[in-house]
Structure 1
Amino acid sequence: MTSKKDKLFLFLATFFVANAIIAEIIGGKLIVLGDASFSFMLNFGIFDTQVGPFILSVGVIPWPIVFLSTDLINEYFGKKGVRQITNIAVVLILYIFLIIYLTMIPDAAEGISPVTDAAYGQVLSQSMWIIVGSIIAFVVSQIVDVLVFHVFRRRTGGKMLWMRATGSTIVSQFIDSVVILGIAFYLPGKINLSQYLGFAITNYSYKVLIAVIITPLIYLGHGLIDRYLGSEVAEEMIEEAAANSQI
């Protein structure tokens, strides 16, 4: 019979993987948060960078669930648990992109198919740079998240859950924003350095805001899990996760 620990991991992993995959598939649509004319300039010494308007991919919408799932898996299953769900997500994302690519090869039935090849490709296709950039950024940011999470945990003696959960997300998502925009857009020459920095700042600002907003949900999730497992079992899992995640 499946134990409560296994059921918990399966539940958290399912939400993590599902939302990570959804974010990849819907990421091609861009939206503007707030006033489309809002912007300001930042001076970096040798050049100025325009920050704003706040243009984001709709792929960021499911990421709060990814953040929350990562923090809870980090807390109860440690580095090994995060590595497992990250590997699963990467394999499934690659598989999905492969299937999408294969389905784009045959022509749509002209006059019959309600979706044309052009419309199908415009919605579902992603450039190779975006695919590579998003996967590398995802893996690297997850590795950084685990390291920072458990560094904060040791420094605080297991106290201040908000610091290790929110702090690790803030640090790891800086890496994520810089890497994905750099590989997907700056390196191929689609944007210049000033635009790259501006987009990175706006994307990172959104992620920091979300990380702070969902902090109460981390405490709620922690409390529900402790009640589900029992305080003694939950504490044992947390201690084991911390011990097995030593750098």
Structure 2
Amino acid sequence: MFKTKKEFVFVILAGIFITNAVVAELIGGKLIQIGPFVMSIGILPWPVVFLTTDLINEYFGEKGVRKLSFITAGLIAYAFIILLLAINVPAAKGISPVNDSQFYSVFGQSMWIIVGSLIAFVVSQLIDVSVFWYFKNKTGEQKIWLRTTGSTVISQLFDSFIVLGIAFWLPGKINFETFI
């Protein structure tokens, strides 16, 4: 099935990467507050996405991450289409444990999140890859912590800002002060 151990490791890392990206989209409609900060619970899986990005970057290169990022964006778009279809198919009256408005309350918000997150995902992944390789070129094989942590922190900031703006501020779910 796998010709090398390296191929097997790539598939495992890709699976972790894709699963966490899709889960983030599905749970992202729930907002939480930590002190004065309001954020989507969808931020929980993103550090895992960025960590796997760094591992793939380190061992499989920039091209591997870029390809996987675009494949994942396509799969998130596919999830968006399936959710859109599911929202528009009426629930069975009287026997469905979840009615249409309940389903929409949970997954309808996810539609804005998916659009915002899809844009943020591609932008932040490209930033993550670029920052990672910038630090790697500056430090060589040393200071892996700098390139992994630095690229993740910088790309996570862009990701969060873009998602909150598109998914919550643009549709009027939060005001500008909360967004900033």
Partner of 2:159: 176
User: 2:15 — aligned with what?
Assistant: 14
1:209-247 deviation digits (Å, cap 9, x = unpaired)? xxxxxxxxxxxxxxxxxxxxxxxxxxxxxxxxxxxxxxx
3-state SS of paired residue (2:88): coil
Which one is further off, 74-83 or 15-24?
A: 74-83
When normalised by structure 1's length, the TM-score is: 0.67
- For residue 157 of structure 1, what is the aligned residue in structure 2? 140
Larger radius of gyration: 1
**How far apart in 1 are the matches of 2:148 and 2:89?**
46
Instruction: Indicate whether 1:118 and 2:127 are aligned.
Output: no
Aligned pair 1:58/2:59, yes or no? Answer: no
Q: CA deviation at 1:132?
A: 2.1
**Secondary structure at the residue paired with 1:55?**
strand
Q: Between the two structures, name the one with larger relative contact order (CA 8 Å, sep ≥ 6).
A: 1
The aligned residue for residue 166 of structure 1 is 149
Deviation at 1:149, TM superposition (A): 0.4
Instruction: State the 1:6 CA deviation.
Output: 0.8
Aligned residue in 2 for 1:73? 56
Alignment of 1:90 onto 2:73 = yes
1:192 to 1:28, Cα distance in 2 relative to 1, 3 A:
closer
Residue number in structure 2 paired with 1:32: 33
Change (3 A) 1:105 1:193: closer
Deviation (angstroms), 1:104: 2.1
| RMSD, matched Cα | 1.7
Q: Judging changes above 3 Å, is the alpha-carbon distance between structure 1 residues 185 and 55 closer, same or farther for their aligned structure 2 residues?
A: closer
Change (3 A) 1:146 1:32: same
1:193 & 1:126 partners in 2: Cα distance? 18
Give the 4+ runs in structure 1 shifted more than 4 A: none
Q: Which moved more, 1:83-92 or 1:128-137?
A: 128-137
Q: 1:110 to 1:129 in 2, by over 3 A?
A: closer
Tell me by how many angstroms 1:108 deviates.
1.3
* Identity value in percent: 55
CA distance in 1, matches of 2:170, 2:26: 22
Letter in 2 for 1:82: V
Q: Which is helix-richer, 1 or 2?
A: 2
Q: CA deviation at 1:128?
A: 4.9
For these two proteins, the number of residue pairs brought into alignment is 179
Contact kept, 8 Å, 2:47 with 2:152, in 1: the verdict is no
Structure 1 spans left out of the alignment, 5+ residues? 39-51, 198-247
d(CA) in 1 for partners of 2:55, 2:170: 34
Tell me, in whole angstroms, the C-alpha distance in 1 between the residues paired with 2:41 and 2:175: 23
Offset from partner CA, 1:43-87 (integer Å, 9 cap, x none): xxxxxxxxx0x3332211212211211110010111111112111
Q: Is the 8 A contact 2:17 2:48 kept in 1?
A: yes
* 1:143 is the counterpart of 2:144: no
- Rounded to whole Å, the distance in 1 between the matches of 2:72 and 2:138 is 30
